[in-house]
Amino acid sequence: MKRILFIISEESYFMSHRLNLAIEALEKGYKVGLLCNRGKNIHSIKEKGIEVFNFSLSRTSLSPLNHLKTIIKISKTFKLFKPDLIHAVAIKPVIFSSLVTKFHDVEGRVFALGGLGFIFSSNRFLAKLLRPFIVLFLKYCLSGRKTRLIMQNKDDCKKVWDLKLIEKNKTRLIEGAGVDTDLFLPEEESQEMPTVILPARLLWDKGIGEFVEAAKIIKSKSISARFILVGSQDLHNPENIKSQVIDKWVDQGLVEYWGFSDDMPKIMREASIVCLPSYREGLPKVLIEAASCAKPIVTTDVPGCKEVVSHGLNGYLVKEKESKDLAIFLEELILDKNLRNSMGQEGRKIVLDRFAEDLITEKTRKVWEEVLL
């Protein structure tokens, strides 16, 4: 029996983005393990037949001591679980686990980057300082015949190749984590007032400031609509929006704030329109979920987002950081229910053709088989 170990920082991300893949592996006869931070879902993950190991990995910490502790924990997990294949997700798990595989007999390595993130896209001093070191580390970590790198969009693939992080023939494009199209089903709008929902962590680079400004523009025209933020804060992220700012927006009547929800099908049922004006993404699952529920989408013309939306077909693409353009397209959809319905149906077709969970799972399983041959 082949053993596969998932290495992911947050168990909540594993539940939402990789659990279906792990269950597929179990059904195909793999022994499945998960190394992640502790969280509320650990018990339910174990009940699925997945062996769970814990480490303490901070996405933002730069402490060498913390990094060393993480590497030691990964090494101990390898000794206990003895994986034939590791599947690591995000830059830190990829770097740390790949270093450990240099000293353990691991047959295959599959690494997945949802996007190249803050280090590669930010103009902040810290990002610029760390970038060349991260590039060197990744080149070393991604070397090896039995290594494959999964990217979620073509732009990030090109950037990886331009940086010469890994050979093209070891890179695979798999668009996102897929969506359960039987769970995220279209339903008729039940709201009397059109409802625009932005589901994301409360970060400035998710375009939340532009969303609020667009809501202000639309409300100034006495157009009836609700604008709702759904998501949690990320207190350790430099782009985190402070609670006082959110409270001020709510007090001004610009938006409602519903907080975090782990019931996304219910959230999508509440939406007339889904909006995500991010500055960058890997391939946002919330947009695939929205399209699966036949919701029209207004998002930005940036890598990841533009993979889900065809402008004028199942939604609209706007330039990042342009609240006025965002308001124009949101207003058009708010005022035209027939347009919302027709765009939503086109989105559902796109998901069934490209983003259904079983399609994505099958593509990923083939990557595993490549490195285990």
* Spacing of C-alpha 319 from chain mean position: 21
pLDDT value for 91: 86
Would you say the pTM of this structure is higher than 0.75?
A: yes
Question: Rounded to an integer, what distance in angstroms lies between the CA atom of residue 308 and that of residue 314?
Answer: 9
pLDDT value for 117: 64
Contact 94, 111 (CB under 8 A): yes
Using CA atoms, how far residue 119 sits from 103, 131, 276, 303, 370, in Å, is 27, 6, 21, 16, 30
The residue whose two tokens read 């023939």 is 169
pLDDT value for 365: 95
Percentage of the residues of the chain whose pLDDT score is greater than 90:
78
pLDDT value for 69: 92
Contact 277, 309 (CB under 8 A): no
pLDDT value for 188: 87
Structure tokens that stand for 363 in this block: 């593509």
pLDDT value for 121: 66
Question: Rounded to an integer, what distance in angstroms lies between the CA atom of residue 22 and that of residue 301?
Answer: 32
pLDDT value for 118: 65
Domains by residue range for the chain, with CATH: 3-178+356-372 (3.40.50.2000), 195-354 (3.40.50.2000)
Point out the residues of the chain with pLDDT beneath 70: 117-119, 121-122
Give the alpha-carbon dihedral of 364, 206, 14, 183, to 10 degrees.
-80
pLDDT value for 105: 85
